[in-house]
Amino acid sequence: MKILFCTGGSEKSENAIRVTASLAEKLGADATVLSVGPSHDSISKILGAEFRMSEVTIDTDRAVAKNISKFAEKGVKILKDAGISAVAKISRGEIADEILKETEKSNYDFIVMAAKGKPGDRHLLGSVTRKVLAKAKIPVYVV
């Protein structure tokens, strides 16, 4: 059995990874920890056209890559410390789309993700979680 755990590094994701560890232990499952960051083009759009290939954009892009890698590795460490076989994967692009693409590439049994990443959001579910729930072809366990 294989679990895809999706993290954005939020506090809610940290709670969800512990739930994933418990589920994986009970099910005898392996886990993949996926962290997705915005693409270079998305960063350029956010910063504006004048920053497209500037040092600011390149530095921001490097920082994003470092952070998404750190989030995935932190999840793997928590799982491995709990005795779960786990690997990290990182991706760049629209977050929900990248999660859905990953589920099509590998044979996962289900997805685990936090209900939302941003604190204070008045909605029960974040936009990424809503999109994954609506489009995933495998079960999604929301923590």
Q: Where are the domains of the chain?
A: 2-142
Tokens for 36, please give them.
Answer: 């997705």
Q: Report pLDDT digits (tens) over 53-85.
A: 556 556 766 777 788 899 999 999 999 999 999
Which long-range contacts link 39-44 to residues 24+ away (Cβ below 8 Å)?
Answer: 39/92, 39/93, 39/94, 40/92, 42/93, 42/94
Q: In what order do the strands lie in the sheet with 140-142?
A: 86-92, 30-37, 2-7, 110-113, 140-142
Which residues in the chain come in under a pLDDT of 70?
40-58, 60-61, 117-123
Contact in structure between 103 and 136 (CB atoms under 8 Å): yes
Torsion of CA 16, 21, 23, 28, to 10 degrees: 150
Query: In this predicted structure, what is the pLDDT of residue 89?
Result: 97
Query: In this predicted structure, what is the pLDDT of residue 84?
Result: 98
Query: In this predicted structure, what is the pLDDT of residue 67?
Result: 83
Written as one letter, the residue type at 97 is D
User: What homologous superfamily does CATH list for 2-142?
Assistant: HUPs (3.40.50.620)
Distance CA 115, CA 98 (A): 17
